[in-house]
Amino acid sequence: MDSKLSLYNTLTRRKEEFEPLVEGRVGMYVCGPTVYGDPHLGHARPSVTFDLLFRYLKASGYKVRYVRNITDVGHLEHDADEGEDKIAKKARLEQLEPMEVAHYYTERYHKAMEALNVETPSIEPHASGHIIEQIEMVKRIYDAGFAYISNGSVYFDVEKYNAKYHYGKLSGRNLEDIVVNTRELDGQSDKRHSFDFALWKKASPEHIMRWPSPWSDGFPGWHMECSAMSTRYLGERFDIHGGGMDLMFPHHECEIAQSTAALGHDSARYWVHNNMVTINGQKMGKSLGNFITLEELFTGSHKLLEQAYTPMTIRFFVLQAHYRSTLDFSNEALQAAEKGLDRLMKGVDALAKVKPSATSTVKPEELEKRCRTAMDDDLNSPMVISALFDWVRIINQLVEGQQTITAEDLELLKGIVNRYVFDILGLRDEKAAGAASGRDYVTPLVEMLLEERLKARAAKDWAASDRIRDGLAAAGIRVKDRKDGSDWEIE
């Protein structure tokens, strides 16, 4: 591996050089969506962030097993151990079987991910398909002495765990702070302490999602699935665990406690968290009226949106910020991203118009070096984009003949640009993709007219030349003359 990737590890609170457990291979687990509603802006950020990491690891030569789960059971309304299951509630309200709800929104999520050009993970396990693994892990935690049974439910004994290990090490908390910040139990709970959490919950009579277990007919606690499924597919120790910052506490903290209690040690070496999304400076929330789904963004059908934004505009916008900074959505910012993406894609297109010379006045390997250094520095995608923009300017100078490049260097440059723009940043040329899906009638016709115009100019028939140019302009096609021909673009 010639890459020297450094990642910010939430666990140690510093950037660390990435060293996989097994040379050349990476195991990565990322918490996926709870499938009870349409995918929204909050889903776009982690999926694009970890897609970038997945793509970069692969481009750096690693074999990556990327596991991203689907939560289709056990995520209760109040995140902790109380309230109705989110999927069961939706099913009750819409008179559907819970798995119909989960299936429907999983499909919607996949469609949105495809639109954002997010690659499918290596494995996408569902929580409901891994009840046996979860029960087995609860047994191990219980046998190790870190859980207690209460009225058919099993709870994690945080105090006992904390006496041996440190509960709160990921989020930088101590149990004393957690005690101060959690409300007292109201006497109704089966838990000994408010900070304990459910590993297995006994189902109430009206609870429809239930499975048999040694303790009761019930369902696993929300945090359980990720410990069980990461162990199942990546082993007791693996390289990277990712997710949104909002999951750090309690979800990831509980995952660490569960895995440590069951296995005697931590599972993941690097914990990577993306920062949150805000809208016009505000947190996104249903009650705030600024909850925007991805479909609403793609179609422009939300009162806060001045226009529709293409999936690649959203992806580019996410990539323009470093994943550990907050990202604020606004129409102005998205419109700026749309222009930036257009400029980048035009630069990529312009590469095809560059004619090689005998000598080079430019060094493509400098672009490669800048992009790689930026990516190795904790996935600094904004720096990659800024390097690419500098080269869009250079490409335009090459087209205009202000700089020169040899055939060999031109091939090198094309390779670097394609690798970073398409393979690593994962951008897609939406205009070209649109043209490919229907037949492109425009390009051959315009090229033909421009050829005629070139002949007219060679014959000094300026009237004919102008007539063709003006005719194209009337059709919305702008012609730009160069020394050795002409370019055109659709306005």
Are 197 and 158 in contact, with CB atoms under 8 Å apart? yes
List of residues contacting Zn ion (CB under 5 A): 31, 226
| Residue with smaller CB distance to Zn ion, 50 or 317 | 50
Nearer to Zn ion (CB atom), residue 209 or residue 226: 226
Q: Which phi-psi region, left, alpha or beta, contains residue 155 (left: φ > 0; alpha: ψ -120 to 50)?
A: beta
Q: In the bound complex, what is the minimum distance in angstroms from residue 441's beta carbon to Zn ion?
A: 49
Q: Which of 31, 76 has the CB closer to Zn ion?
A: 31
Q: 170 or 413, CB closer to Zn ion?
A: 170
Please state the closest distance from residue 241 (CB atom) to Zn ion, in A: 8
Closer residue to Zn ion in complex, CB, 71/194:
71
Neighbouring C-beta atoms of residue 253, cutoff 10 Å: 21
What minimum distance in Å lies between the beta carbon of 234 and Zn ion? 13
Closest contact distance (angstroms) between CB of 15 and Zn ion is 24
261 with 161: CB under 8 angstroms?
yes
Name the residue nearer to Zn ion (CB basis): 178 or 226. Answer: 226
CA-CA distance, 226 to 237, in Å (whole number)?
13
Output 80 or 384, the one with its CB closest to Zn ion.
80
> Nearest 5°: phi and psi at 174?
-115, 155
Nearer to Zn ion, 257 or 279 (CB): 257
Least spacing, CB of residue 409 vs Zn ion, in Å: 47
- We find the least distance from the C-beta atom of residue 31 to Zn ion, in angstroms, to be 3
What is the nearest approach in angstroms of Zn ion to the Cβ of residue 254? Answer: 9
> CB of residue 9 vs Zn ion: minimum separation in angstroms?
17
33 versus 218: smaller Cβ distance to Zn ion: 33
Measured between alpha carbons, how far is residue 99 from residues 106, 210, 279 in Å?
Answer: 10, 12, 32
Minimum CB separation of residue 197 from Zn ion in Å reads: 13
Residue placing its CB nearer to Zn ion in the complex, 231 or 404: 231
To Zn ion, the closest distance from the beta carbon of 475 in angstroms equals 53
Q: How far is the CB of 229 from Zn ion (least distance, A)?
A: 9
CB count, 10 Å around CB of 105?
21
Give least dist CB 420 to Zn ion, A: 31
- In this complex, which beta carbon is closest to Zn ion, that of residue 102 or of residue 314? 102
SS (H, E, C) the chain: CCCCCEEEECCCCEEEECCCCECCEEEEEECCCECCCCCEHHHHHHHHHHHHHHHHHHHCCCEEEEEECEECCCCECCCCCCCCEHHHHHHHHHCCCHHHHHHHHHHHHHHHHHHCCCCCCCECCEHHHHHHHHHHHHHHHHHCCCEEEECCEEEECHHHHHHHCCCCCCCCCCHHHHHHHCCCCCCCCCCCCCCCEEEEEECCCCCCCCECCCCCCEEECCCHHHHHHHHHHHCCCEEEEEEEHHHHHHHHHHHHHHHHHHHCCCCEEEEEEECCEEECCEECCHHHCCCCEHHHHHHCCCCCCCCCCCHHHHHHHHHCCCCCCCEEECHHHHHHHHHHHHHHHHHHHHHHHCCCECCCCCCHHHHHHHHHHHHHECCCHHHHHHHHHHHHHHHHHHHHCCCCCEHHHHHHHHHHHHHHHHHHCCCCCHHHHHHHHCCCCHHHHHHHHHHHHHHHHHCCCHHHHHHHHHHHHHCCEEEEEECCEEEEEEC
Residue (32 or 37) nearer to Zn ion, CB? 32
